[in-house]
Structure 1
Amino acid sequence: MSEVLLFDLFGVIARQQSAAGWAELERLVGVPGLHPLYWGRRHSYDRGDLKGADYWRLVAEELGTRFDDGRVAALIAADIASWSAVDAEMVALVERLVDEGRRVALLSNIPEELAAHYEAAQPWLARLELVAFSCRIGHAKPEAGAFEWCARALDAAPQRILFVDDNAGNIDAAAALGFRTRLFTGIDGLNSSVG
């Protein structure tokens, strides 16, 4: 059995970005071509290299347009809303594991504005032993530094940590560092792995 369970957030405990939320972002942007630019700058935003206003102004520049302060604020709010749904079953599983005395931690690629929203809206986060938000640790998956930071903070050898993520690239990166891994495909397949 693993000493520590290290969960991803989006696609595991929280839902992926909603289609309705993405449509609202496209509406607010008002010009085509958002998708590659949104994701092209997202890693830097998630890692904390950019704040929300700077991120959206860079996206605007690359789209050949400009967003005023009101549009930037609306885009940040819509972006947060698009990533805000959690999976109630997974939250219940995480809380049960904590209640059982298991060591449970989280590693998420997430920008500061969304991290602050989750902390305010999801009280179960405060029950975890460690919450490692990429924007605050200076490393984003699949960078080795993200996993190494967690192992140090948890004072646990990688082989004593089971990392659960829905992204195969992140799983491969963690496995290369000696972490035990589980590719998340749903709660049913996970129950047997976490005991």
Structure 2
Amino acid sequence: MIDALLFDLGNVLIRWDPRNHYRDRFPTEDAMEAFLAEVTPGTWNHEMDLGKPFAQAIAERTQLFPQHAALLAEWQSEWSRMLGGAIEESVALLQEVRADGYRIAALTNWSAETYPKALALFPFLDWFEDVVISGVEGIAKPDPAMFALALRRTGFDPARTVFIDDNLANVEAGRAAGMHAIRFIDTAQCRADLRALGVRV
């Protein structure tokens, strides 16, 4: 029987995409995509998710791409524009399981510097028993240590817990940690997958 749900945040409950900001900064989509792939790849953002200060990460990248210094600085100064708002259908789902007595917590790859901004914008983040944040802990999904930490802190029984994440590698790591795991595509699919596991939604 499932009695706990462990949620990812980014693109499960909160939309995040650097394109939301940078689309206005380039003349074409191709130019923007080239910048995102070459100058600000996901591996670089992951460094900040692991706790590297934005100022340091931006300075290091600016040394490699000095012609993009202004655009790189906006990764911090315009970070809030990268947010696309709450995924309201998912927030409704979260509210349902919470009201029905399921235990809920979050496990997120998120910078310690920007998480407080999200907390101020999205009141539902206060609904969780705990939020395990990679940038605070210095470890990140899909590292098994991140899942072990979340389970230890929450006291969730992995066999009775569903982990929900949009990243396949993270889903597989959650499954390896002993949890039921769902890859989030959209809320309707997630709801159907939860029902298949016996969750009352």
- Give the TM-score range, shorter chain: 0.7 to 0.9
Residue correspondence of structure 1 range 105-116 to structure 2 within 5 A: 105-116=105-116
Write the distance in 1 (CA, Å) between the matches of 2:36 and 2:92: 35
Indicate yes or no: 2:43 matched with 1:40.
yes
Q: Is the 8 A contact 1:25 1:78 kept in 2?
A: no
Q: Which amino acid aligns with 2:38?
A: P
**Count of aligned positions:** 189
Write the distance in 2 (CA, Å) between the matches of 1:11 and 1:20: 13
Q: What do the CA deviations read for 1:15-38 (whole angstroms, capped 9, x no partner)?
A: 2415332325669xx9x7443342
Q: Is the 8 A contact 1:164 1:183 kept in 2?
A: yes
Write the distance in 2 (CA, Å) between the matches of 1:66 and 1:35: 13
Write the distance in 2 (CA, Å) between the matches of 1:143 and 1:107: 12
Q: Is the 8 A contact 2:20 2:84 kept in 1?
A: no
Aligned position for 2:182 = 182
**RMSD of aligned residue pairs (Cα, Å):** 2.4
Deviates more, 1:164-173 or 1:83-92: 83-92
Corresponding residue SS for 1:2: coil
5+ long unaligned stretches in structure 1: none
Deviates more, 1:100-109 or 1:13-22: 13-22
Indicate yes or no: 2:78 matched with 1:78.
yes
Q: What do the CA deviations read for 1:54-93 (whole angstroms, capped 9, x no partner)?
A: 111112112145848xx73x43132232024211111122
Write the distance in 2 (CA, Å) between the matches of 1:11 and 1:172: 17
Corresponding residue SS for 2:162: strand
Change (3 A) 1:34 1:158: same
Write the distance in 2 (CA, Å) between the matches of 1:26 and 1:152: 45
Corresponding residue SS for 1:117: helix
Deviates more, 1:15-24 or 1:52-61: 15-24
Of 59, 62, 65 in structure 2, the residue corresponding to residue 60 of structure 1 is 62
Q: Is the 8 A contact 1:98 1:104 kept in 2?
A: yes
Instruction: Give the 4+ runs in structure 1 shifted more than 6 A.
Output: none
Corresponding residue SS for 1:21: helix
Q: Which amino acid aligns with 2:160?
A: R
Indicate yes or no: 2:10 matched with 1:10.
yes
Q: What do the CA deviations read for 1:118-177 (whole angstroms, capped 9, x no partner)?
A: 111111111111111111122111111111110000112322221011111111111112
Corresponding residue SS for 1:56: helix
Change (3 A) 1:130 1:51: same
Change (3 A) 1:187 1:87: same
Aligned position for 1:168 = 168
Deviates more, 1:35-44 or 1:143-152: 35-44
TM-score by length of 1: 0.85
Write the distance in 2 (CA, Å) between the matches of 1:12 and 1:156: 20
Aligned position for 1:95 = 95
Write the distance in 1 (CA, Å) between the matches of 2:173 and 2:48: 20
TM-score by length of 2: 0.83
